[in-house]
Structure 1
Amino acid sequence: MKDQAENLRRRLELQKNHLMAKTLAILSGKGGVGKSNFSLNFAISLSKLGKKVLLFDMDIGMGNIDILFGQHSPYSIVDFFEDGLSLKEIMTTGPEQISVITGGTGLTHLFTLDEDKYARFTDEFGSLLESYDYILFDMGAGITQDSAKFLLCVDELIIITTPEPTSVMDAYSTMKYIHSINDEIPFFLVCNRVFTKKEGKETMIRLQNALRKFLGAEMVSLGYLPDDRSVSKAVSKQIPFILSYPDAAVSKSLIEVVSRYVNHGLGEESIIQKSNFLQNMKRYFLGK
């Protein structure tokens, strides 16, 4: 425990002077909006740009990232907490050399860390912050009291919605809840499964206006993805659509979304930054 605490202090000190991976959570207000599929293809697209990417499946008990690319992972985060394996040992190499950590069925351990588990996780995670450009967390649908703490640790949030009124309302409620706890976390929005460009634009504008009027908050609209049969065909083939159908409308739209994210007005320096992830974990999980 003492050695782990010393390692954590050393890593926090290093972060003051070194650039670290950017951490971002991808979430939705409700299930069935294509969040995990987006997360996987988004990660692959970043990797194709030459970025080192780790995708962390945080969908508690329902993780399916490895199924989407047809490669069963022998280990999950459960093996880290229960069997003492390292984070690197439980990783799987996915398409385009992205790294993947699956969720398994016991991920609640991550949200109920005692000091020993916290120290071990943050010590190992600190080395990952130094090894990757992006660490993406594919969150479960909705927000629980426990998972909310984890969401507050990341540097940025990407919210996935569809044009359906219930999905839009759930996306707004999700942002409202997070904003009420921490009004400094940047929001990015992607509208999935749109039938027309007009529908996608109107959905974005509706959510942006609601955030401004009722919360005094802003978000960055990354764009929208069309309702494309290539997606379901790719899922059936267990090959991500950005690889199996690179010329499809949804793949071209995703490339535009990724480009907007990487270059969203903050320049190249925004790609890798001084991450606050470990400091935030100490604050929200241990109350220090």
Structure 2
Amino acid sequence: MNDQAERLRERIKALRTQAKSIAIMSGKGGVGKSNFSLNFSLALKKLNKRVLLFDLDIGMGNIDILIGESSRYSIVDFFENQQSLTDIITTGPCGLDYISGGTGLGTIFSLNEEKFQRFIDELGLLFKAYDFVIFDMGAGISEDSLRFLLSVDEIIIITTPEPTSMTDAYSAIKSICVNHETMQFLIVVNRAFHHDVGHSTFDRLSTTMTQFLKRNPTLLGIIPDDSTIMKAVINQNPFLLYQPNSQASKAIVRISKEYVNRQELNNFVQEPTPFILKLKHFFMKGR
């Protein structure tokens, strides 16, 4: 048993908190979703928040690549090798805890009931040890990922000013709205070559959502089209750590502070039905 896992188990025993569940998604791939998930998680960590980043882009996960480290374990080891969730957590830069997506596993919802129940039970315990559990979802939306998305407390949508990115983001949001009447959507516009472009991108998406879906999304922030991001990716170092004073890094810091302030101002209260119970409901519903 490794020391990290033992320390986490002790923390779980001592705490009675309930983490907020956040899904980070995009309508299409290649918009910087995983890069945002990683740097956003690091920024929250720097604000002294307890964060678990869970790579749910199973088989295509790239958190390890962005960090420049190779995890000893992944979610595959939990299901196939009987490791516990605490055992497969890797501690990355700045003490950020994350679970790698790994390869060789289909979807969590294709598992038999026994394996899924074990997953639910252990994940429920982890929710007592963190302030935020952030799920980096695969690009797009499928029947299986929709169940996960319908269970979380809040969804952050990553889009870019490109028309195809906005269209795909809207389609994904529409799929969720059809099945969830109160889901909150926060929008992050990535790769905006000018601040005004970021705002106009959000305005177009917001107007469409208001008109056709009767939803009013919130603009969480705008990340500029900063060459630092690509340099950081090439160097396999999160851009927040690679160049803390870059425009992209300043933007992610503003976004993380805005997010935390938003929670405190709204005095966030967990929904009556916790994430774990909702996830179990949707799993059983899909059997």
TM-score calculated relative to the size of structure 2? 0.90
State the Cα deviation string for residues 132-187 of structure 1 (Å, max 9, x = none). 01000111100111111111111110000000000011111111110001121111
Instruction: State the 1:107 CA deviation.
Output: 3.9
Instruction: State the 1:266 CA deviation.
Output: 5.2
The equivalent residue for 1:52 is 50
State the Cα deviation string for residues 52-102 of structure 1 (Å, max 9, x = none). 110011113111101111110021111100110000111110111111101
Q: Distance in 1 between matches of 2:113 and 2:263?
A: 39
Q: Distance in 2 between matches of 1:93 and 1:274?
A: 31
CA RMSD of aligned residues (A): 1.7
Q: Distance in 2 between matches of 1:51 and 1:274?
A: 23
Identity %, equivalent residues: 50
* Equivalent residues in 2 for 1:1-288, closer than 5 Å: 19-264=17-262, 267=265, 269-270=267-268, 276-287=274-285
Q: Distance in 1 between matches of 2:137 and 2:271?
A: 22
Moved more, 79-88 or 272-281: 272-281
The residue identity in structure 1 corresponding to 2:89 is M
How many residues are matched? Answer: 271
Residues 187, 219 of structure 2: 8 Å contact kept: yes
Q: Distance in 2 between matches of 1:271 and 1:162?
A: 31
Q: Distance in 2 between matches of 1:183 and 1:267?
A: 23
Instruction: State the 1:287 CA deviation.
Output: 2.6
Q: Distance in 1 between matches of 2:150 and 2:76?
A: 22
Q: Distance in 2 between matches of 1:106 and 1:262?
A: 36
Instruction: State the 1:106 CA deviation.
Output: 3.3
Residues 107, 144 of structure 2: 8 Å contact kept: no
The residue identity in structure 2 corresponding to 1:129 is F
Q: Which runs of 5+ in 2 are unaligned?
A: 1-15
Residues 23, 275 of structure 1: 8 Å contact kept: no
Residues 55, 138 of structure 1: 8 Å contact kept: yes
Runs of 4+ in 1 over 6 A off after TM superposition: 271-275
Residues 153, 271 of structure 2: 8 Å contact kept: no
Q: Which runs of 5+ in 1 are unaligned?
A: 1-17
Residues 245, 251 of structure 1: 8 Å contact kept: yes
The equivalent residue for 2:4 is none
Instruction: State the 1:118 CA deviation.
Output: 2.0
Q: Distance in 2 between matches of 1:273 and 1:267?
A: 17
Q: Distance in 1 between matches of 2:111 and 2:21?
A: 19
**Structure 1's 223 and 216: CA in aligned 2 closer, same or farther, altered over 3 A?**
same
